[in-house]
A and B are shown apart, each in its own frame.
Chain A
Amino acid sequence: MEFSITEYTHCDLIDISGRIDSYTSPKIAEVLKTLLADGHTNIVIDMKLVTYLSSSGMLVFVNAQKQRTRQDRGEIVFSNIPDCVLSSFKLAGFDQLFKFFDDVVSAVGRF
């Protein structure tokens, strides 16, 4: 799993590639924790190159979104989510917690 962060005027974009599983999800949790703690609460997560998302990875996003909701600031949204990954979100019922955009431009434009 690899990631990069691009800072835009109104949001931050995290590009993630590879597997998000029990081995790699703590790194994503750390990144999100740092961004949220620094007041960067508008976050686009681009999933175009993500090949797998486990329940532990999904819960990292869910917990970050819940934390952000409690603080009543910003929003975490996804772009380019692969169908199989979206199916897992739907199976768990967590698709309702997030907005999913077809591409990065419309996701970043959300903010």
Chain B
Amino acid sequence: MTTKTFRGNFKNLAPISDFIISQVENAGFTANEIYAIQTAVDEACANIIDHAYGGEDIGDIKIDVKKTKTGIQITLIDSGKPFNPNEVPEPDIRSPLEIRKERGLGVFFMRKLMDNVRFEFSKNEGNILTLEKYRGS
């Protein structure tokens, strides 16, 4: 398992992506799968900054990357207020584009692109979001 901690600000989204790519690029994923993982983590971190911390430079995002037999498990931990992405309603992508509400698109991407999105809140650690992606999924 590799762990890295980043300050929760938007400027760090690029280094976070670089870190994730470096962890998954030799793990047997296709280029599209790597892009999907990059997107899910980026959206998750942007949501942590926006919603859990409510702004930049309030707290850290700790990222654990664990290679599993079937793929990859990425855990994001923040000490912000409880924010469960699974409670964010999905945007209705069938509604007319002109009137569609766009909130929740990042969470929608996370759910669509990953095989498993699990949320826990721990009084000691805070928000624990686990994202899993299987090879060939």
Binding site for B on A (CB under 8 A): 19, 21-23, 52, 54-56, 58-59, 62, 66, 69, 83-84, 87-88, 91-94, 96-97
Contacts and interface: CB of A to CB of B under 8 A. Distances in A.
Given A55-B105, A56-B106, A92-B108, 9 more contacts: A19-B13, A21-B42, A22-B50, A52-B38, A55-B108, A58-B105, A66-B98, A84-B35, A91-B113
B106 A55 contact: yes
A83 B31 CA distance: 11
A66 B97 CA distance: 9
A88 B109 contact: yes
Nearest to B11: A23
Interface in B7-38: 10-11, 13-14, 17, 31-32, 35, 38
Q: Which 9 A-B pairs have the closest CB atoms?
A: A23-B10, A55-B105, A84-B35, A93-B93, A22-B46, A55-B106, A22-B10, A21-B13, A59-B102
Contacts of B109: 55, 88, 91-92
Contacts of A93: 93-94, 97
Contacts of B102: 59, 62
23 contacts: A19-B13, A21-B17, A22-B13, A22-B49, A22-B50, A23-B10, A23-B13, A23-B14, A52-B39, A52-B42, A54-B39, A55-B43, A55-B105, A56-B106, A62-B102, A69-B98, A84-B32, A84-B35, A92-B91, A92-B93, A93-B94, A96-B97, A97-B97
B112 interface: yes
Interface residues of B, number: 27
A73 to B, nearest CB: 16
Majority-rule SS of B interface residues: helix
B14 A21 contact: yes
Interface in B91-136: 91, 93-94, 97-98, 102, 105-106, 108-109, 112-113
Taking each of B39, B43, B94, which has the highest tally of chain A beta carbons within 10 Å of its own beta carbon? B39
